[in-house]
Amino acid sequence: MSDAIFLLGAGFNRDAAGEVGPIKCESTYIGKYHITPNYPLVADMWKICFPESSIDTSIPIEEKIQASVSEGNMSPVKLLCEEIAKCDYYLVPRLIQTESCYRRFFDRFPKSHFLTFNYDSLAEVFLLRKDSWNPLDGYGIPLEASPYRTDGKKVELQASQNQVIHLHGSICIYESAVDWDTSGKIPYLQLKEKPVFKFDPNSIAQLFYPYQKAPLTLGEDREIEQRVIAPIPDKSTGLRGEFVKEMYKKAGALIGQSERIICIGYDFNPNDHLSYKPILTSVCKRPDCELIVISPNANEIRCRLAKQLPELEARLTAIESTFKNWVERDFVLK
C-alpha cells in the first residue's frame, strides 16, 4: 500500500478533537479554562461564519456565504480560515506528541502523497516532523520562503519525499503578482507575467519551525481569506486561479503514476462536481487504478459515483467507517 495516493476531505480531520480531548488554557482576565476546538464540517459553518445571525435552515450555508462573497464581504471566509488556523495551532502538536490515530496513519504510509480539499496544515506539519516534507517544494510547486530559518541559519534544502496538494488552496500559501523593477534610476512596482507562490504560515508559524514566511513585497495582498476557494456553490472562478490550476495539474500527474486512490472523509457532493471531476477523470484514464472510499456513508457515495461513471464501478470499493475506526481496524481495505 506504499504507492497509495490519499484524497482527504473534511471528515479526515473530524477525529482530531476526540484524540486530544479538552485543552487547558489560562488567561490573565478569566483565569484557567478549557477549550475543545475541532475542525469544522458544513454543519458547523453557520456558527463560525455568521456568529451574530441565527441559523436559517431555508438557505444552505454555501449559498449564504456565496451571497456575502458576491457582495464583496469576505468576512465569513476569514472567520472560517481563522477557526481552521486555531485548530492547527492547538490540535496538531498534541496529535503528534501522542499515539493518536493520525500519528499511526502517517507512520503506516511513509511514501504516500496526499491530495486534499481542506485548507488546514495537519498533513504537512506531521510530515515536516518526520523530515520527509518541507514548504519549499512539498506543496507540489516551487514556493518562496525566507532563505533563513527561525534560528538564523541558512536553509539547507532537502527534497520532499511526500507531496501535499491543496486543491482548494491553503491558508499558508498566497499568490504574488507584483515585483519591483530596479532597471531604471527609480524603482517601481510592476505586474509579473506569471504570479509566484509564497509561503506565509500566518499565526501558526511555530508549527513550521525552522521555516519562515517569504519576505514581503510592497503591494502584495496577504489577506488570509484570499488564499482559498470559498466554500460556495459556484467554484468556477476560483478553480481558474493560477495556484489551483497548478495543483490540479500536479494531482493528475501523481494519479497517473498510482494504482490506488484512497479517499478519506470526502463525500463527493454533487454540488462540488467541478472540484472532483478532474480527479475522477484522471482515475478513469488509468484502467488499473482502484478507487477506495472510506466514509460513514461510503456505500451511498459508491452507488452515486457508479451511476455517474459506470466505467469506474468495477474499481470502486466502499468502506463504511470513520477515519479513526478505520485506523483501529488496522487499515483494512476490503
Question: Domain locations in the chain?
Answer: 5-328
Q: What is the pLDDT of residue 196?
A: 81
Report the alpha-carbon distance of residue 119 to residue 40 in Å, rounded: 11
For 203-218, what is the mean pLDDT?
77
Task: Give the confidence band of 305 by pLDDT, cuts at 50, 70, 90.
Answer: very high
Report the alpha-carbon distance of residue 311 to residue 289 in Å, rounded: 12
Q: What is the pLDDT of residue 290?
A: 95
Q: What is the pLDDT of residue 3?
A: 72
Ordered DSSP codes for 302-328: HHHHHHH-GGGGGGEEEEE--HHHHHH
Q: What is the pLDDT of residue 183?
A: 64
- Tell whether the model's pLDDT for residue 57 goes beyond 70: yes
For 180-208, what is the mean pLDDT?
71
Among left, alpha and beta (phi > 0; psi -120 to 50; other), residue 317 is beta
DSSP state for residue 117 in the 8-state scheme: S
- Comparing 97 with 57, the larger pLDDT belongs to 97
- Tell whether the model's pLDDT for residue 78 goes beyond 80: yes
- Tell whether the model's pLDDT for residue 185 goes beyond 80: no
For 42-51, what is the mean pLDDT?
92
pLDDT digits (tens, 9 = 90+) for 107-149: 999 999 999 999 999 999 999 999 999 998 999 998 887 766 6
- Comparing 157 with 273, the larger pLDDT belongs to 273
Q: Quote the strand ranges of the chain, DSSP E.
A: 5-8, 23-27, 31-35, 113-116, 164-166, 173-181, 188-199, 260-264, 290-295, 316-320
Task: Give the confidence band of 2 by pLDDT, cuts at 50, 70, 90.
Answer: very low
Q: What is the pLDDT of residue 147?
A: 63
For 212-221, what is the mean pLDDT?
69
Q: What is the pLDDT of residue 59?
A: 87
Q: What is the pTM for the complete model shown?
A: 0.90
Q: What is the pLDDT of residue 1?
A: 42
